[in-house]
Structure 1
Amino acid sequence: SHLFSYIDLGMYITDEEVKALSFIRNVLLTGKALVINVGNGINVSEKELKDYYEKNKDKYKVKEGKKIVIFKVDVEKLGKDEANRKAKEIYTALKNNQEIKDKSVEVYFKGIYKEKSLSEKLNKEVAKLGKDKNIFFLKTDKEIFIGKYLGEGYSYKKFDEIKDSLKEELILNKKKSIAEKIYKDLSNEIKTKSLEDIASKYSENIADFKDKGITYFINQFGINPINLEKIVSKGKHILNLGDRIVILDITAVKLGELKGISMAKMFVNGLKQQAIIQMYIDKLKENADIKINPILKEKLN
């Protein structure tokens, strides 16, 4: 229901949006295109992979369970009064985040708790532990248990287990870095150099297109529809798409068959809904312990 509320709030369409997107939807472009694929033949060393893994280790954490410690006081061994006194001392120390120095006290459990791995009574107490209630005191005829929540327990995916995905991720990052540099350089060069000169410099081929609509640019080059307004004018336009740079030299712009205001509204709606859902998902990811494989994320975008 939150998602639909989120969408409804953003679904009001202004006349300006309809006019702008109606124009983009119906426009036909003629010109030339140059695609520069970056980072071909990039590789990474074993050392680079291991350094990257260590530097970004928190990205590969796996939540295992609650990290807890449980102390046990033996009532039968110490006697009721002494056991109660010692148990209260332990409880007070834990509450004040003090170290338990009494070596005679048994550490019954310390580590990451696995669900239902203790006795039934202890399992119930541990289930209640968390940030708001971080200590429990459980008394039986024979024993007294005092436990404390120490935080969430994590382990890390092993290097060898994720080595291949690390390599893909690191290569992708290198490609983006190279693409950014080429984009900055070419942003100035396209003002003075011809498309042919740039193509020769990067050993790439130029493709001609005539009277092509937005679907062509989405399918052929992977240009996001929201960014199409950047290329709907005569002249050279450069786009950084992460693993490639696209330069379009638009020589003619004209309107195709008008598809109608209602169709334009549907088109705008689709774009806005896609953007708003993505915003909602991004917000969820901020508030949750969710990590998305960047390679998968790149393919989805």
Structure 2
Amino acid sequence: MFINVGKSKWMKVILFITTFAFVGTAFVALVLYKLSGNIQGVAQVNGKDIPVAEFYYQVTLITNQMESKGIDTAPLKKQIYRDALRNVIEQELLFQEAQKEGVEATKEEVKRYLLDIEAFKENGKFSRDRYLAFLSQVNLTPSFFEEILRKELSVRHLLTLQKVGFYVSEDELNTFINKQLAKITGKFVLIKVPEYKPSEKEIKEYYTKNIKDFSGKKGKLIVVYQIDIKGLGTEKAQKKAQEIYKSLKNNTPVKTEKGVKKIFEDVVYDNKAKLSEKLLKELKNLSDKKKILLVSDEEHYYLIKYVKEVSKPLPLEKVREEIAGKIVREYKKKKEKEIYEELKGIVPQIKDLKNLAYNYKGEIKSIKGETAQSLAMEFGISQEDLGRIVRGKKGEILGPFRTTTGILIGKLEKIEAPEKERKKEMEKILKPILTENKYKTVIQMLIDKLKEESEIVINRRFLQ
């Protein structure tokens, strides 16, 4: 029964309790926060510590969400940590704002909400066994998890308050629809970067320079100290074990002396090494969260320390195509920027698109009565650049525009207003979407404002 809670119900729990799905932006300006190694939590917001357990809970949520989509999270550990750090900081900012606004959730409200979570129900009723099984999997106590829920419910109250009286005006709706459905007639030149094939020398140099990026099998760099119980006697051996444990914990040198010796220091892959079977079994318990283990047999104590994760680089042959693709993308990006900057200087003098297409080996495409939306999809034009095209005048040379398909330059012949029936259809579809997008933007602005006004300190250990 408990296994089913962890697998089939896990994502439902996430959907119920995660409030930050709308904040999908990158973790901006982390480096602008103060860094410290002297705070107890993962971060501090206006003098209040964010518990480390809350951070690791977010790490678990993000990791499980990604893995449920088939994403390999092993190489994304740093990004997951950054996203989790962003989430807990933003949540704390919003929670403190909810407290100021007087919309903090009560313990009774949390209890009602908790009892109604489907993932914790059995035969339609709340199951304490299911609840405790979930808490065991995420390594949280009931009181701590309920405090997380209280924060999230408080944030929801605040966001609901922000939404009161919120709407998209008719002018905003019309402006957006006109931009999408305006009918365009004209000619456009699409200029693409010439094909490029990297040499063997370039591939080898790239591999050597970026070898850390091509990690393969992962292993654990460990060090093992052996203490001779028989030679030192039980009492003295126990004392030495305590001393060595403290040294390993504090990252201070361990003295090798009579009865104490370092018997292993190397990277272990797949728990295979020249160590006893008993020690090899214990290695699976070592991780970044549990760095030191004490193991004993009749004759010895063993102190094992996890130093760091190590990866064997993949051989060049296995990553050759990947490297070639990266070199080509970098080349195209650089070349496209050069062409774009060059075109910016000559576009004001352009009168004939044919000469332009000939000089840059571009392709001329004639457009007749196509909607701006269709044009954007065909060439991969950004919304900002699409607005510039729709606002253009007859006979005007527009561009250059950097698109997903290349660099675009156009000459407008005619722009017509959208068809009335089509416009009405779009209004019904787009109004709720635009309202939601505008709301998300307003909330992000609130978060950014709170960041600027707050004192935020990050524990530097969680950025390493």
TM-score, normalising length: structure 1: 0.75
Deviation digits for residues 226-256 of structure 1, max 9, x if unmatched? 6422321223122113662111222221112
Determine which of 241, 244, 252 is the counterpart of 1:98.
252
**Number of residue-to-residue matches in the alignment:** 274
Q: Distance in 2 between matches of 1:123 and 1:210?
A: 71
Aligned to 2:391: 233
Matched letter for residue 59 of structure 1: D
> Does the 8 Å contact 2:295/2:303 carry over to 1?
yes
Structure with the greater relative contact order (CA < 8 A, sep ≥ 6): 1 or 2? 1
Deviation digits for residues 193-220 of structure 1, max 9, x if unmatched? 1222311211333221111113431343
Determine which of 88, 108, 111 is the counterpart of 2:267.
111
Deviation digits for residues 100-153 of structure 1, max 9, x if unmatched? 45276142564236369875687457626435x532333443321112121222
For 1:1-301, what aligned pairs fall within 5 Å after superposition?
1=15, 2=18, 5-6=21-22, 14-15=168-169, 17-40=172-195, 42-62=196-216, 64-100=218-254, 102=256, 105-108=261-264, 110-112=266-268, 114=270, 119=277, 123=281, 127=285, 129-131=287-289, 133-194=290-351, 195-225=353-383, 227-234=385-392, 235=396, 236-241=398-403, 244-258=406-420, 259-260=423-424, 261-265=427-431, 268=434
Structure 1 residue 175 displacement after superposition: 0.9
RMSD: 3.7
* CA spacing shift, 1:212–1:37, aligned 2, 3 Å: same
Matched letter for residue 52 of structure 1: Y
Structure 1 residue 25 displacement after superposition: 2.2
Q: Distance in 1 between matches of 2:364 and 2:200?
A: 37
Q: Distance in 2 between matches of 1:183 and 1:205?
A: 16
> Does the 8 Å contact 1:87/1:144 carry over to 2?
yes
> Does the 8 Å contact 1:73/1:105 carry over to 2?
yes
* CA spacing shift, 1:251–1:174, aligned 2, 3 Å: same
- Structure 2's unaligned 5+ residue stretches are 1-14, 24-155, 442-461
Q: Distance in 1 between matches of 2:189 and 2:247?
A: 70
Matched letter for residue 375 of structure 2: F
Q: Distance in 2 between matches of 1:55 and 1:242?
A: 29
* CA spacing shift, 1:43–1:256, aligned 2, 3 Å: same
Q: Distance in 2 between matches of 1:157 and 1:273?
A: 46
* CA spacing shift, 1:34–1:270, aligned 2, 3 Å: farther
Q: Distance in 1 between matches of 2:286 and 2:357?
A: 65
Q: Distance in 2 between matches of 1:238 and 1:179?
A: 11
Q: Secondary structure at the match of 1:14?
A: coil
Q: Secondary structure at the match of 2:357?
A: helix
Aligned to 1:291: none
Which has the larger displacement, 22-31 or 254-263? Answer: 254-263
TM-score, normalising length: structure 2: 0.51
- Structure 1's unaligned 5+ residue stretches are 276-287, 289-301
Greater per-residue strand proportion:
1
* CA spacing shift, 1:96–1:274, aligned 2, 3 Å: closer
Q: Distance in 2 between matches of 1:221 and 1:263?
A: 24
Q: Distance in 2 between matches of 1:110 and 1:69?
A: 7
Greater per-residue helix proportion:
2
> Does the 8 Å contact 1:175/1:243 carry over to 2?
no
* CA spacing shift, 1:167–1:161, aligned 2, 3 Å: same
Percent identity of the aligned residues?
Answer: 24
Q: Distance in 1 between matches of 2:21 and 2:361?
A: 50
Deviation digits for residues 248-296 of structure 1, max 9, x if unmatched? 2222211121322223325647988999xxxxxxxxxxxx9xxxxxxxx
Q: Distance in 1 between matches of 2:431 and 2:255?
A: 71
Which has the larger displacement, 154-163 or 257-266? Answer: 257-266
Q: Distance in 2 between matches of 1:71 and 1:141?
A: 16
